[in-house]
């Protein structure tokens, strides 16, 4: 006859076979599954719920289910570049650029810089705050003491000037 080990009302044999198997099925990684099981034990220990004493296995399974959901949400926020792209490390290395390609990039950047320098100072400042520093249009209006409509006009002018320059570059190519 096999002796069962209990801890705080939980059958450890059940926890490490049935419950861990269920968690492994849901998360597909044995290491994450064990972490979830151990976190469930900790939450069970510190819990003061009445259900804990009446039905410890059901309560432990509920804790595990909540931790599985938390784990899934956490994984959705943090995806490695390799997993996202599905490529090997060699792809992540910077490609070798030819001198001609680097010269082309340099010329395009110089053209953009010239266009931005030709904008009126306030227009250039608004565009910089909006596209580079990430301020919202209402924030820019409040910071500079101008109307939101004027902020929109400055942004549109800069975008139109850059778009027309891009079209000119495409025609020249």
Domains present along the chain, CATH in parentheses: 6-77 (no CATH), 99-172 (1.10.10.10)
**Residue 1 pLDDT class (50, 70, 90 cuts):** very low
pLDDT of residue 91: 45
pLDDT of residue 134: 81
* Distance in angstroms (rounded) separating the CA atoms of residues 47 and 162: 60
**Residue that wins the pLDDT comparison between 153 and 52:** 153
Q: Are 71 and 36 in contact (CB under 8 A)?
A: yes
Q: Is the pTM of this model over 0.85?
A: no
- The whole-number average pLDDT for the span 149-155 is 94
* Distance in angstroms (rounded) separating the CA atoms of residues 91 and 89: 5
* Distance in angstroms (rounded) separating the CA atoms of residues 145 and 143: 6
pLDDT of residue 92: 44
Provide the token pair at 18: 């049935």
For residue 154, pLDDT beyond 90: yes
């Amino acid at each position: 006859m096999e002796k069962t080990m209990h801890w705080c009302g939980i059958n450890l044999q059940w926890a490490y076979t049935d419950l861990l198997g269920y968690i492994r099925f849901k998360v597909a990684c044995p290491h994450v599954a064990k972490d979830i099981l151990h976190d469930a034990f900790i939450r069970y220990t510190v819990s003061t719920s009445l259900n804990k004493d009446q039905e410890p296995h059901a309560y432990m399974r509920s804790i595990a289910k909540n931790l599985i959901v938390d784990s899934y949400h956490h994984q959705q926020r943090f995806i490695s570049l390799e997993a996202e792209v599905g490529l090997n490390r060699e792809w992540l290395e910077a490609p070798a650029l030819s001198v001609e390609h680097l010269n082309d990039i340099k010329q395009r950047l110089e053209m953009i810089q010239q266009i931005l320098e030709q904008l009126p100072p306030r227009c250039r400042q608004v565009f910089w705050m909006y596209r580079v520093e990430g301020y919202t249009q209402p924030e820019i209006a409040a910071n500079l003491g101008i109307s939101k409509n004027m902020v929109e006009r400055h942004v549109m002018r800069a975008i139109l000037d850059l778009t027309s320059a891009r079209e000119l570059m495409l025609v020249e190519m």
